[in-house]
Amino acid sequence: MNSTSRQRWWIAWTLFCSTTINYINRQTLSVLAPVITQELHLRHAQLSWVFSAFQVSYAAMWLVGGVALDVIGTRLGLALAVIWWSVVSMATSLAHSLSQFAVFRFLLGIGEGCNWPGASKAVAEWFPARERGIAVAIFDSGSSVGGAVAAIAVPWVALELGWRYAFVLSGVLGLLWLALWLRVYYPLDRHPRLTQPERAWIEAGRDTATHSKGGGAGKWLSLLKERNTWGIVLGRSLTDPIWWFYVFWLPQYLSDARGFSLKQIAASAWVPFVAADLGNFTGGLASGFLVKRGMPVLRARKWVCAVSCLPVIAGIPAALARSPYWALALIAVAVWGYASWSTMGLTLPSDLFPQDVVASVTGLSGLGAGLAGAVFTLAIGKLLDRFSYIPAFFAAATLPLAATVAVLILLRPASGARSQTADRS
């Protein structure tokens, strides 16, 4: 690695911070769900509607926000998104009914849906192919860190100050991040502190194809005709619902099925998120290692997906475990595998598509994943009211197998791009 490399890694870690804050904001409601459902006398099916309200707008903004980011740029786009979701998070403290919570969660999803398309676009702009896996792992690991921080901090704030203050404090974090973002991030060709050696390092490792053909509707039609687009969309649509299941329902599961208090949730619910953080880096480092050993980039990503879907099956024995701590340990194994797979899913658009459509492809995959997650969340709410958590755990454990099959069959190296091996950069 070039010893002068600095700015791109500052950008990666700033994106990590935005993702961390993003997850603290969204997890605040999930962590407080046992308290809020009791206070408002909500059933699981009603709670699932609140969760899915977020997912619907979040899914739409992966697509709309991705296109908008391709038009207005990453710097301004992410700044506006963080301002939006921070204000909405603080406003959620004013909610007093099921419908009000649903409205605020819908509004929250509008802002938060821009984070991943924007971060993926920034990685495509600032990182050569061989470093993208680890760069994506860095920013995506913020989801795990944010979930862990929320699991620990939100109950403490709720117990000390009241649960409404947890929404206010989580919103303030985003406004503090804004100053850092505006200081650190600029487009590659206009960064005031970028050295020429680092610029040369980045540009030498880029794909040959840097711009897509056509524009407007023609560009979108060409994307929808590509099998790589549908491989990425199907892959994410069959894996992200697993993450939503554990993110939204884990605190409620620990309360319902394992009898945990809010203090016990704070002491233990962070463990799967730390495992997911390790999974992000497992996927990024493993694919990077394979690329450095001479394996083509796409083949390396596929290998990681194929191996990573296996630990997710641990969700089945987790549902059946007698000990709550064994259940938590097995859930941690499952989300570790998911996070490793997810890192590849977020990296693939920048591997297979020109930079000027990366956010759009990422947004399209997020739309599919978000809608699939919303349906899965609503189904879980009904399952819990009528049966138990066991069918949901079984479904979450097996869907990634289908996702991996879709990726292995549909994805092909981008046409016109030279061999993506380590010697490129």
Interval 31-55: pLDDT, tens: 999 899 888 888 888 889 999 999 8
| Per-residue confidence (pLDDT) for residue 4, from 0 to 100 | 54
Interval 234-274: pLDDT, tens: 999 999 988 889 988 888 899 888 988 888 988 888 899 88
Q: Distance between CA atoms of 85 and 89, rounded to whole angstroms?
A: 6
pLDDT of 92 above 60: yes
Q: Distance between CA atoms of 88 and 108, rounded to whole angstroms?
A: 6
The mean pLDDT value of the chain amounts to 86
* pTM (two decimals): 0.75
Per domain, the residue ranges of the chain are 8-186+219-414
Single-letter amino acid, residue 195: T
Which residue matches tokens 């100053």?
A: 179
| Per-residue confidence (pLDDT) for residue 125, from 0 to 100 | 85
With bands split at pLDDT 50, 70 and 90, how would you rate the model's confidence at 205?
low
| Per-residue confidence (pLDDT) for residue 211, from 0 to 100 | 47
CA torsion, ordered 411, 417, 421, 423, to nearest 10 deg: -170
Mean pLDDT of 44-71: 86
pLDDT of 214 above 60: no
Q: Distance between CA atoms of 366 and 105, rounded to whole angstroms?
A: 17
The DSSP code for 214 is: S
Q: What is the CATH number of domain 8-186+219-414?
A: 1.20.1250.20
Q: Distance between CA atoms of 217 and 317, rounded to whole angstroms?
A: 48
| Per-residue confidence (pLDDT) for residue 193, from 0 to 100 | 83
Handedness of CA 103, 104, 107, 112 (dihedral sign): negative
What does 32-53 look like in DSSP terms, one character per residue? HHHHHHHHHT--HHHHHHHHHH
Secondary structure (3-state) at 414: coil
- Alpha carbon distances (Å) from 299 to 14, 230, 292, 339: 29, 17, 12, 19
Pick from 161, 211, 152: which is nearest to 27 by CA? 152
Mean pLDDT of 312-318: 94
With bands split at pLDDT 50, 70 and 90, how would you rate the model's confidence at 350?
confident
Q: Distance between CA atoms of 276 and 356, rounded to whole angstroms?
A: 30
Asked whether 139 and 119 are in contact (CB, 8 A), the reply is yes
pLDDT of 121 above 70: yes
Residues 6+ apart with CB under 8 A from 57: 106, 107, 108, 109, 110, 113
pLDDT of 392 above 60: yes
